[in-house]
Amino acid sequence: MYADALTERGVETRLILLKDYPLPRFDNSEATYQDPTYRTLYDAADRADGLVLAGPVYNWGPCAELKRFVEVVGATTASLRSPFFDKIITFVNAAGLPHSYMAFAPLAVSMVLDFKCILNPYNVYVHNRQWTEDALNEEAQARLSKSAGVMAELQERLANRDYRSQWEI
């Protein structure tokens, strides 16, 4: 749905399902960086102007696989640049109840501070009461549409930035 909303706005998208790319456990060993899955996901993130990080909420936090993706792919060895630096990030979360709408916040703050990401302030949080059959209700669909519009605008306006961040405090 979100990819369709971006495509309608002229944004080139690529959907990556983490279930199709099993990541190694992260221990910062050289074997991690030699893993073909690491390289595939690193290259995809590096080429992207922005990332939509989507996943379920469990125990008031993003799912473990999404956090593992950020941890493993965001790590570097010899370089001071991670593929997440300066990316525009949008979070899309699905949950059973309306109470965990800020579940993405710790991960988002970490990405903003560590990788100098630009956070789309219009994240999408959808819970089970906002689905009718296999479709979002009007309220959730409007939020998704607004979020995609902001994501597309941020990418367009920031496309010609002349700075490149790296690991720094």
Is residue 118 a contact partner of residue 86, using CB atoms and an 8 Å limit? yes
- Interval 100-132: pLDDT, tens: 889 999 999 999 999 999 999 999 999 888 888
CATH 3.40.50.300 fits 2-158, yes or no: no
Amino acid type, 38: Y
Q: DSSP label at 132? A: E
In the chain, what are the domain boundaries? 2-158
Residue 50 has pLDDT above 70, yes or no: yes
pTM of the shown model: 0.91
Mean pLDDT of 55-65: 90
- Enumerate the H helices of 30-119 as residue ranges: 30-34, 36-47, 64-74, 105-115
Higher pLDDT, 85 or 133: 85
Predicted confidence band of residue 59 (pLDDT cuts 50, 70, 90):
confident
Is residue 141 a contact partner of residue 2, using CB atoms and an 8 Å limit? no
The pLDDT value recorded for residue 123 is 94
Tell how strand 88-95 and strand 50-58 pair up. parallel
